Chain A
Amino acid sequence: MGYEISLLTFMGISIIGSLSLNLITGFCGQVSLGHVAFVGIGAYTASILTKADTPFFVALLAGMLLAGSFGVMVGLASLRVRHDFLAITTMGVNFVFLGVVRQQEWLGGELGVSSIPDPGLGKLGFLALVLGCVILVALLSLQIRRSWMGYVFVAVSGDEDTARMLGLDVSRYKLIAFALGTALAGLSGGLYAHHVRFIFPDSFAFVESITLLAMVVIGGNGSILGVIVASALLSVLPQWFQFIGDYKLLLYGSLLFVVMRFSPGGLAGLAKNIFPKSKIYFALKENQ
């Protein structure tokens, strides 16, 4: 039972992470190849604070705020660079994060942060907290998509120059996407750190950013339900089957390739094609 709870908790944390990237990349069209850096900022901030006897929820919030603040800085870069160049810039953010963390003694260097305090909620309590966060983040995503903000995101993602010509303050909308997305990444990081209670730089390596992006793309860029399903599957498969864990990069790489080649809309796009007018289709289209 303990194993299943732990697995579900990990799944929930992954879903929060991929939904947070979905806000930036799926909704607003800003490709980020370094999203796990913000998960890392949230994880390090929250765990160092709880180790210094800060209450768990305060530490979690602080991790979100710091991750969101750094996210706005990267968002400011996104106002200057676009498309491929933005992808490379955000990739650089991931490496800068790793480079800094590895060198800092007070962040544990290569050894990372261990003995992170137990938040004291019990395993089931913690799972309930994580699932509660999943629901809140999913509801927030839904609200954004059906609101005028989501409408503008579709425009920015499609053609930001034209969006400006319609008087839309594209820069501020992009910064909001980065602020929200990276703050929620920080939330997933804080939860992750207090779930495994031991973090080190490799937990936030570039391959983890690619894993998050794979979850978003395979689920269907911008589709909330698709991203949830894809990240649920992709987060537990490597835990269930050891050999998948060993070949994770190969598997995710091939999946990305197959999806881009045969169903660029991901699982959501596939469902749309197979059941063009079924309830599933409408479930995916809900509130659009």
Chain B
Amino acid sequence: MSLLDILNISVRFGGVHALEEVSLNLNQGEILGLIGPNGAGKTTMLRVITGVVQPNHGEIDLEGEMLNNLSIPARVRKGLGFAQQLVRPFREMTLAENVALAAGAEQTKHPWRSMFRVDRREALRESLKWLAMVGIENAADSYPNAVPLGYLKRMEVARVLALRPRMLLLDEPLAGLNQVEATAFADILVELNSQGQTILLIEHNLAEVRRICSRLVVLDNGRKLAEGSPETVLKQPAVLEAYIGQGTVHAEN
């Protein structure tokens, strides 16, 4: 069943076509990999979905409801959980407090009422659960400046999970991690997915993409190049050419 439908999205930055008539959909319960070379339009697509970038043309539907005119926070409250490419923790807060702020979405929904809600204990307890799920509950009371990048990446995912999103939109979560960390992180995503979490993943680490994604969409120069299962898509000459470069294809031939 399709959860998110992206229909004929076009984005132009000045004269540059960042995306041209791209359509794709995200099905309930899958890990969809959105791949492509640098500048292909992957991050732009994610920004269109979250509302940071307004498309010049096209439509984004969540189970048939159009999201185009909703603000970023409104889309997040509809169930879009977005983790950014560069980790951006709140540096004044511990990791647990970072996650608890997201876990308390019910408390912060109405700004005026939030002034009269004081108790943070339940949200903090819940934050420990999410931190444990990504394996960093031991650093709950640490401040972001005191932990390594891998921890912050996990915290970012825990923070998004605490929003209980209907889908997880991840922008290069494995970038900057070494292969051991990347594999461990990818395993967490598989585990989340096995619990029913729908995931859209932008990622350059093809080994992990091939291993964990159930379906791939390839973008190149703002257009959709291919779509299908990892095995078939990654064998298509056009994909290899765009992604790895012409020389490789000739070499393999």
Give the B-binding residues of A (Cβ under 8 A).
143-144, 146-149, 151-152, 154-155, 157-159, 161-162, 164-170, 172-173, 176
Contact = CB atoms under 8 A, between A and B. Distances in A.
Interface in B45-96: 50, 71-73, 76-77, 82, 84, 88, 90-93
Contact of B91 (A158, A165, A168, A169): A158
B76 A154 contact: no
B180 interface: no
B191 to A, nearest CB: 23
Contacts of A176: 111-112
Interface in B91-117: 91-93, 97, 101-102, 104-105, 107-108, 111-112, 114-117
A147 B72 contact: no
A146 B102 CA distance: 17
Interface string B197-213: 00000000000000000
A142 to B, nearest CB: 11
A114 to B, nearest CB: 39
Contacts of B73: 164, 167-170
Given A165-B84, A167-B76, 8 more contacts: A147-B114, A147-B117, A147-B118, A152-B101, A159-B90, A165-B76, A168-B108, A170-B73
A155 B111 CA distance: 14
B163 A167 contact: yes
B170 to A, nearest CB: 12
Given A152-B108, A166-B159, A168-B108, A143 B115 contact: yes
Contacts of B111: 149, 152, 169, 172-173, 176
Query: Which size bracket describes the interface of B in this complex?
Result: 20 to 34
Contact of B114 (A148, A159, A162, A165): A148
What DSSP secondary structure best describes chain A's contact surface? Answer: helix
B174 to A, nearest CB: 19
- Give the top 7 A-B pairs by smallest Cβ distance, nearest first: A167-B76, A148-B114, A149-B114, A148-B107, A149-B115, A158-B90, A164-B72
B12 interface: no
Nearest to A157: B92
A148 B120 contact: yes
A166 B97 CA distance: 13
Nearest to B51: A164
Contacts of A147: 114-118
A159 B88 contact: yes
Contacts of A159: 88, 90
Most buried by A among B73, B107, B111: B111
A80 to B, nearest CB: 14
A189 to B, nearest CB: 24
Contact of B92 (A143, A158, A162): A158
A150 B158 CA distance: 22
A164 B88 CA distance: 12
26 contacts: A147-B116, A147-B117, A148-B108, A148-B118, A148-B120, A149-B111, A149-B115, A151-B97, A151-B104, A151-B108, A151-B114, A154-B92, A155-B101, A158-B90, A158-B93, A161-B88, A165-B50, A165-B84, A166-B105, A167-B73, A167-B77, A167-B105, A167-B163, A168-B73, A173-B111, A176-B111
